[in-house]
Amino acid sequence: MEIEIRREPEHLTVSMEDMDAVRRVVETVGRLYGAEEAEVSVTLTDDAHIHVLNREYRGVDRPTDVLSFALMESDEPEIIGGASEVLGDLVISLERVQAQAEEYGHSALRELSFLTVHGMLHLLGYDHMEEDERLEMETEQRHVMEELGIER
């Protein structure tokens, strides 16, 4: 899997542990869903930057935890092997990661991993707008987190 991990703003401090966790999640999701040859870009950012993106692209005037920008919109969540495919971009706020980890009582590394899983599933076509979609996505999230050996 081709994975590009960036920081925005560039002076944002990101630990190697965080970068490794994101890479591990993206690779695991790729393996589990037959997207080993896909390309994904991940931007680790702060609340200010993700707030601007959330307002611009979703019309929601507040920071959020993760944004997913799928290159190809599809109702079909499964990737069928083949040539390299660009799945899209993920943007994750490290400030939201920290705040939510504290709120939920687990580590920031666990929260970062979960948000990466969540975003990757969106890139693969999963959603949670309807109740049945939400339940399916939650099941998939649990499955990937179990594969990663990450517990709540």
Query: Residue 111 and residue 98: Cα distance in Å, rounded?
Result: 8
* CATH fold for the domain made of 2-148: Collagenase (Catalytic Domain) (3.40.390)
Report how far apart, in Å, the C-alpha atoms of 101 and of each of 104, 107, 121, 145 are.
Answer: 5, 6, 20, 16
* Cβ atoms of residues 111 and 87 within 8 Å: no
Question: What would the pLDDT profile of 27-36 be if each residue is shown by its tens digit?
Answer: 999 999 999 9
Q: What average pLDDT does this structure show over 58-76? A: 85
Question: What would the pLDDT profile of 68-114 be if each residue is shown by its tens digit?
Answer: 999 875 554 454 454 468 999 999 999 999 999 999 999 999 999 99
- Residue 77: predicted pLDDT: 46
Percent of the chain exceeding pLDDT 70 equals: 91
Averaged confidence pLDDT in the chain = 92
Q: Distance of alpha carbon 127 from its chain centroid, rounded?
A: 13
Q: Quick check: pTM over 0.85?
A: yes
